[in-house]
């Protein structure tokens, strides 16, 4: 009998308990990875080199306040600004409220794809979108969700704004790291239907370089200081984080749940190892009698606990990765969650947690058993 064989045989002594323990750890790690991914998406949105060049200009008071359309002319002439586009949220209703949970924006059709350069659009479709007033650009996931095709007509009923929009799908976009669930249409068409009020929700900018970003932010806000509609300019990342903060302290809420999950895993693993070690008190005494010292016995128990925890961790972590890779999370959530990427660092953190739990859970029961003398251990019943 080899040492590894001895460890494996002990682990499989009670197959039912082994199975339940591994499944409990796997389920806990599955929840840990899922919540960790959700927390990361909310508090640490993914960014790219292109996203780092994008800036959002909004009203200084809140997103609910609008800016004058005439601001665009001055913004475009600020040094460091490469492209600028209107970007107004419409918030219309498609058929009914339950189907309307997708973003709809009025934009400058000839500039928006230069600002969001990650969007991939067929050149012919892009040309059609730019040159037709009622044309719209739609993400691939939204096209799949509703079964739309290029050329279909859709109607968005005004909820936030007192106008309805009759749009024709002329272009479809896809892109890595870009939300593929948006509808973009001509801001000029929206303004015309609104009665040419000349109002804009936000402006989105692409800076000429990363070095120019701080100066552009300062120059824009300084240009509109002490006006009726002062601005707040921020990077795309800062804008996203501020938007998330409006729904409360999500980080604290999800973080608390993660702590509870880790504590539960610790209790499950420690309970299993306590029962397993208590049942083997006589065996451990015999091992001492034949020459095994405390560190060797501790190593055997530690290897078993670590193996159980890591087996459950691997099943839970990579089970979550497999599930969210192969399931259409956007379709399952009915449009509420556009993407749910489980990254390598999240998987690594989950496995580290599993490994540490395996180690920690074996400390107390092992210490208690090693304190028993050989005579007291032999008196224990199996």
**Could you list the pLDDT tens digit for every one of the 382 residues in the chain?**
566 665 666 666 667 777 888 888 888 888 888 888 877 777 666 666 778 899 999 999 888 899 999 999 999 999 999 999 999 999 899 988 776 778 899 999 999 999 998 899 999 999 999 999 999 999 998 998 899 999 999 999 988 899 999 999 999 999 877 888 899 999 999 999 998 889 999 999 999 998 999 999 999 999 999 899 999 999 888 887 776 665 556 667 777 887 887 787 777 777 776 666 666 666 666 666 666 666 676 777 777 778 888 888 899 999 999 888 877 776 665 555 666 788 888 899 889 988 888 788 777 666 666 666 555 555 554 4
Token pair recorded at residue 22: 């591994």
The per-residue pLDDT for 207 is 93
Asked if 199 and 66 count as a contact pair (C-beta separation under 8 A), the reply is yes
45 touches 202 (CB < 8 A):
no
Q: What is the distance between the alpha carbons of residues 361 and 266, in angstroms, rounded to a whole number?
A: 6
- Name residue, tokens 């120059």: 219
User: Sign (positive/negative) of CA torsion 64, 69, 74, 80?
Assistant: positive
CB atoms near residue 290 (< 10 Å): 8
Query: Residues 173, 179: contact at Cβ < 8 Å?
Result: no
Q: SS3 of 88, please?
A: strand
Do residues 83 and 205 lie in contact, with contact meaning Cβ atoms separated by under 8 Å?
Answer: yes
Q: What pLDDT sits at residue 186?
A: 97
Long-range pairs, 105-109, Cβ under 8 A, ≥24 = 105/182, 105/183, 105/184, 105/185, 106/184, 106/185, 106/186, 106/187, 106/189, 106/190, 106/191, 106/201, 107/184, 107/185, 107/186, 107/187, 108/84, 108/186, 108/187, 109/135, 109/137, 109/184, 109/186
CA 241 to chain centre: 12
> What's the helix, strand, coil split of the chain in %, to 5?
55, 15, 30
Q: How far apart are CA 292 and CA 270, in angstroms?
A: 24
Distance (Å, rounded) from C-alpha 227 to C-alpha 229? Answer: 5
> Among all chains, which residue has been given the structure tokens 């929009």?
165
User: What's the pLDDT at 148?
Assistant: 94
Instruction: Tell me if 176 sits within 8 A of 148, measured CB to CB.
Output: no
Structure tokens given for 108: 């400058």
Radius of gyration of the chain (CA): 29
| Terminal CA-CA length for the chain | 21
Two structure tokens written together for 187:
């801001």
Give the whole-angstrom CA distance, residue 61 versus residue 55. Answer: 17
pLDDT value at residue 178:
80
Instruction: Decide if 75 contacts 84 (C-beta within 8 A).
Output: yes
Query: Which residue pairs from 228-232 have beta carbons closer than 8 angstroms and sit at least 24 positions apart in sequence?
Result: 229/59, 229/60, 229/65, 229/66, 229/67, 229/68, 229/71, 230/59, 230/60, 230/61, 231/57, 231/58, 231/59, 231/60, 231/67, 231/71, 232/57, 232/58, 232/59, 232/60
With beta carbons less than 8 A apart as the criterion, state whether 352 and 29 touch: no
Q: Is 294 exposed, middle or buried (0-12, 13-18, 19+ CB in 10 A)?
A: middle
Number of neighbours of residue 308 by Cβ within 10 angstroms: 25
pLDDT at 113: 93
Q: Can you give the pLDDT at residue 187?
A: 96
Q: To which residue do tokens 């308990």 refer?
A: 17
Does this model's pTM top 0.85? My answer is no
Alpha carbons within 13 A on the beta-carbon side of 250: 17
Q: Cβ–Cβ contacts within 10 Å for residue 243, how many?
A: 13
Strand, helix or coil at 162? coil
Residue 251 and residue 43: Cα distance in Å, rounded?
A: 7
Phi, psi of 345 (to 5 degrees): -70, -30
């Amino acid at each position: 009998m080899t040492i590894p064989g001895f460890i494996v045989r002990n682990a499989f002594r009670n197959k039912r308990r082994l199975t339940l323990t591994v499944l409990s750890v796997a389920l806990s790690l599955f929840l840990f990875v899922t919540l960790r991914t959700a927390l990361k998406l909310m508090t640490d949105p993914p960014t790219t080199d292109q996203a780092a060049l994008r800036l959002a200009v909004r009203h200084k008071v809140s997103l609910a306040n609008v800016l004058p359309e005439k601001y665009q002319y001055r913004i475009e002439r600020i040094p460091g600004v490469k492209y600028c586009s209107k970007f107004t949220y419409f918030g219309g209703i498609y058929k009914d409220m339950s189907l309307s949970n997708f973003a709809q924006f009025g934009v400058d059709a000839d500039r928006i794809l230069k600002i969001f350069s990650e969007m991939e659009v067929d050149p012919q479709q892009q040309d059609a979108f730019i040159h037709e007033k009622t044309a719209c650009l739609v993400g691939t996931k939204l096209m799949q969700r509703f079964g739309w095709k290029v050329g279909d007509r859709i109607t968005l009923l005004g909820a936030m704004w007192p106008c309805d929009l009759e749009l024709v799908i002329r272009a479809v976009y896809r892109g890595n790291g870009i939300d593929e669930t948006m509808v973009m249409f001509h801001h000029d068409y929206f303004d015309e239907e609104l009665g040419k009020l000349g109002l804009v929700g936000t402006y989105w900018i692409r800076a000429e370089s990363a070095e120019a970003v701080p100066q552009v932010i300062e120059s824009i806000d300084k240009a509109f200081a002490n006006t009726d509609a002062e601005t707040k300019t921020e990077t795309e990342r800062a804008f996203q984080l501020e938007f998330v903060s409006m729904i409360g302290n999500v980080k604290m809420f999800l973080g608390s749940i993660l702590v509870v999950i880790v504590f539960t895993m610790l209790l499950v693993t420690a309970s299993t190892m306590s029962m397993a070690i208590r049942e083997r008190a006589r065996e451990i005494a015999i091992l001492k009698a034949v020459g095994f010292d405390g560190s060797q016995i501790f190593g055997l128990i530690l290897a078993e606990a670590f193996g159980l925890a890591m087996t459950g961790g691997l099943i839970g972590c990579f089970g979550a990765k497999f599930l969210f890779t192969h399931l259409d999370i956007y379709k399952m959530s009915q449009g509420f969650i556009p993407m749910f990427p489980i990254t390598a660092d999240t998987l690594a953190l989950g496995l580290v947690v599993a490994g540490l739990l395996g180690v920690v859970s074996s400390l107390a029961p092992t210490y208690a058993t090693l304190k028993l003398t050989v005579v007291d251990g032999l008196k224990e019943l199996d």
